[in-house]
Amino acid sequence: MTTATAKATTYHNFIDGSWIASVSGDLFENRNPANADDLIGTFQKSTRQDVQMAIDAARRAFEHWRLVPAPRRAEILYRAAQLLAERKEALARDMTREMGKVLDETRGDVQEAIDMTYFIAGEGRRQYGQTVPSELRDKFAMSIRQPLGVCAIITPWNFPMAIPSWKIIPALVCGNTVVFKPATLTPLSALNFVKILEEAGLPKGVVNLVTGGGAEVGNAMLVSDQVRVVSFTGSTEVGRTVSEQAAPSFKKVHLEMGGKNVIMVMDDANVELAVDGCLWGGFGTSGQRCTAASRVVVHETVYAQFVKQFTARADALRVGDGLDPKTQMGPSVSQGQLETVMKYVAIGKQEGAKLSAGGESLRTGALAKGFFHQPTIFIDVAPTMRIAQEEIFGPVVSVIPCKSFEEAIAIGNNVAYGLSASIYTQDINRAFTAMRDMDTGIFYVNAPTIGAEVHLPFGGTKQTGNGHREAGTAALDVFSEWKSIYVDFSGKLQRAQIDTADL
């Protein structure tokens, strides 16, 4: 799988059951965002030819894999879950080193992959269809799930093991084969995941890993007529391109994209609990979650109290290397992401929002070689400001005052995205009204906008997604299609809707 060099370890693609170099001979570096001097390894800068080799391998493997009984497929996945659990700590440390988020969070990322793999393995014996009475005598009617073929899996860097598990594991249990392109910022965690699937006993060609850039690797997957499903998680802008590229060949396309999620803090809220939730929702993973609570709408009667506590708690967060057990917030994932954060902080100032906490990058002392930024809070933000409308993907939270519950709902819904929302209140009527009226795919009561569990559907509305859902049994709908079957044992021609059965 790897080749030791004097400078760093070189990692390879995984195609048709073998770890091989790209035909290009080119490599790209993977560095620690907490210390750019730390070279984690070099990875294959793949070409369209590499992608085609992977697609061809997956297509050949599909002819065998689709015929393996689903419970047998599931047994391999169950073994993979066991291996993930056994190696959880090592996998988490690799992830923190390449992605930056604190060790507790990367342990959670790996745990989510464990949970998803165990859960979906159970679906190997539960891919239920329907049996229904026919309208005609001596006729049997039923439906079954069937796999689609080769699945192109394109994943982001913020959850480099959890999100691949949401896609790859359901695809496999349904009988599909996979070509997997991970984010170039986090290829090691993806490789570790694929290595475990290999060790668990997947036949060659069933899962293939090709590293490299989106323009070369991703686009080659999108335009291939041999790929039947594309599952993508990333920005709305790129998701639109994915949809356009895949449309001519009528692929099934699953998109999970941006979010601008809101926590609504009402006048009857437990303010201390709300501050806890907003701190975790806004600054967990350095704000680099599609479900991050980047907007907080606070009722005017508790606004001053909330801002005071939230600001003090954010100022007290310890920023640093995620492998340090004292660290509470790690770096941005890259220099480019840090620059995006800094750009939006400048925009917020220009728009007239007031800085309550943070606002500066941290590039001195022990943090000088990393991509660190202070936890940042803007207060007195108008709902129409760019910092309250556009996804920043960093540790920047906008606090917006409101006069009523109804105004909070209106502000919450007035963005292009619809992933997650939350309300802090003691009023059950308000809670249920907000559940109904918030146009999001996920909703929380007295909890932040992050914390989804693997056995319920994950996804959003509007520009967050295109209607499909990940996780839970809903994931099976992305990676399978329905076949309706009719068995006529009457021994004669019976015409549905024309010939009616005698009473």
- 5-9, 134-138, 266-270, 379-383: least confident range: 5-9
Whether residue 123 lies in the annotated active site: no
Cα 24 to Cα 476: distance, rounded to the nearest angstrom: 36
Backbone angles phi and psi of 492, in degrees to 5: -150, 165
Q: What pLDDT is attached to residue 499?
A: 86
Q: How many CB atoms lie within 10 A of CB 194?
A: 23
470: DSSP letter: B
456 in a domain, yes or no?
no
Q: What pLDDT is attached to residue 241?
A: 94
Q: What pLDDT is attached to residue 237?
A: 93
- 281 and 253 co-located in one domain: no
Helices (DSSP H) in 426-490: which residue ranges? 428-437, 475-478
Cα 258 to Cα 224: distance, rounded to the nearest angstrom: 26
- 198 and 303 co-located in one domain: no
Cα 297 to Cα 261: distance, rounded to the nearest angstrom: 11
170 in a domain, yes or no?
yes
Examine the pLDDT at 1 and tell me if it is beyond 60: no
Residue tagged 């099976």 (tokens): 476
The CA angle 42-46-52, to the nearest 5 degrees, is: 150
Q: How many CB atoms lie within 10 A of CB 24?
A: 15
The CA-based dihedral angle spanning residues 349, 352, 358, 363, taken in that order and rounded to the nearest 10 degrees: 0
Confidence class for position 502, pLDDT limits 50, 70, 90: low
- 73 and 176 co-located in one domain: yes
Nearest to 379 by CA among 353, 351, 348: 353
187-200 and 88-99 helices, crossing angle to 10°: 160
Whether residue 360 lies in the annotated active site: no
Q: What is the 3-state secondary structure (H, E, C) of 280-320?
A: HHHHHHHHCCCCCCCEEEEECCCHHHHHHHHHHHHHCCCEC
Q: Which residue range forms the structural domain that includes residue 374?
A: 262-445
Mean pLDDT of 57-71: 98
Examine the pLDDT at 390 and tell me if it is beyond 70: yes
Q: What is the 3-state secondary structure (H, E, C) of 130-175?
A: EEEECCCCCEEEEEEEECCCEEEEECCCCCCCHHHHHHHHHHHHCC
pTM of the entire predicted model = 0.95
- 253 and 275 co-located in one domain: no
First-to-last C-alpha distance (Å) of the chain? 68
Helix (H) or strand (E) holding 254: strand 252-256
Examine the pLDDT at 409 and tell me if it is beyond 80: yes
Tokens of 273: 């609990």
293 in a domain, yes or no?
yes
- 369 and 388 co-located in one domain: yes
Examine the pLDDT at 501 and tell me if it is beyond 70: no
Mean pLDDT of 230-256: 95
- Residue 172 near residue 198 (C-beta atoms within 8 A): no
Per-residue pLDDT tens for 474-499? 999 999 999 999 999 999 999 998 88
Per-residue pLDDT tens for 309-332? 999 999 999 999 999 999 999 999
Mean pLDDT of 54-73: 98
- 310 and 436 co-located in one domain: yes
**Strand-pair partners of 465:** 256
Cα 73 to Cα 118: distance, rounded to the nearest angstrom: 12
What CATH number has the domain bearing residue 89?
Answer: 3.40.605.10
Tokens of 72: 């047998």
The CA angle 136-138-143, to the nearest 5 degrees, is: 75
292 backbone φψ class: left, alpha, beta (φ>0; ψ -120 to 50): beta
Q: What pLDDT is attached to residue 500?
A: 77
Sheet of strand 13-15: strand arrangement: 18-20, 13-15, 207-209, 177-181, 150-154, 227-233, 252-256
- 99 and 212 co-located in one domain: yes
Examine the pLDDT at 14 and tell me if it is beyond 70: yes
Q: Of the residues 290, 391, 402, 470, which is catalytic?
A: 290
492 in a domain, yes or no?
no
488 in a domain, yes or no?
no
- 235 and 111 co-located in one domain: yes
Mean pLDDT of 70-88: 98
246 in a domain, yes or no?
yes
What sign results for the dihedral spanned by CA atoms 33, 36, 39, 44?
positive
Give the domain-ending residue among 445, 475, 491: 445
Q: What pLDDT is attached to residue 5?
A: 43
3-state secondary structure at position 58: helix
Q: Which amino acid is at 387?
A: I
Cα 255 to Cα 155: distance, rounded to the nearest angstrom: 11
Task: Tell me how far CA of residue 442 lies from CA of 183, 282, 379, 471, 484, in angstroms.
Answer: 25, 16, 25, 12, 32
Q: Of the residues 105, 112, 123, 256, which is catalytic?
A: 256
Residues 6 or more apart from 240 whose CB is under 8 A from it?
none
Examine the pLDDT at 216 and tell me if it is beyond 70: yes
Residue percentage of the chain with pLDDT more than 70: 98
Examine the pLDDT at 4 and tell me if it is beyond 90: no
3-state secondary structure at position 272: helix
Examine the pLDDT at 299 and tell me if it is beyond 70: yes
The CA-based dihedral angle spanning residues 301, 307, 310, 313, taken in that order and rounded to the nearest 10 degrees: -130
- 286 and 232 co-located in one domain: no
How far from the centroid of its chain's Cα atoms is residue 296's Cα? 22
- 106 and 202 co-located in one domain: yes
Q: What pLDDT is attached to residue 370?
A: 97
- 87 and 201 co-located in one domain: yes
Q: Domain tally for the chain?
A: 2
459 in a domain, yes or no?
no
- Residue 307 near residue 271 (C-beta atoms within 8 A): no
341 in a domain, yes or no?
yes
- 158 and 270 co-located in one domain: no
What CATH number has the domain bearing residue 321?
Answer: 3.40.309.10
Q: Quickly count helices (H) and strands (E) in the chain.
A: 14, 25
Nearest to 421 by CA among 431, 401, 109: 431
Mean pLDDT of 198-221: 95
Mean pLDDT of the chain: 96
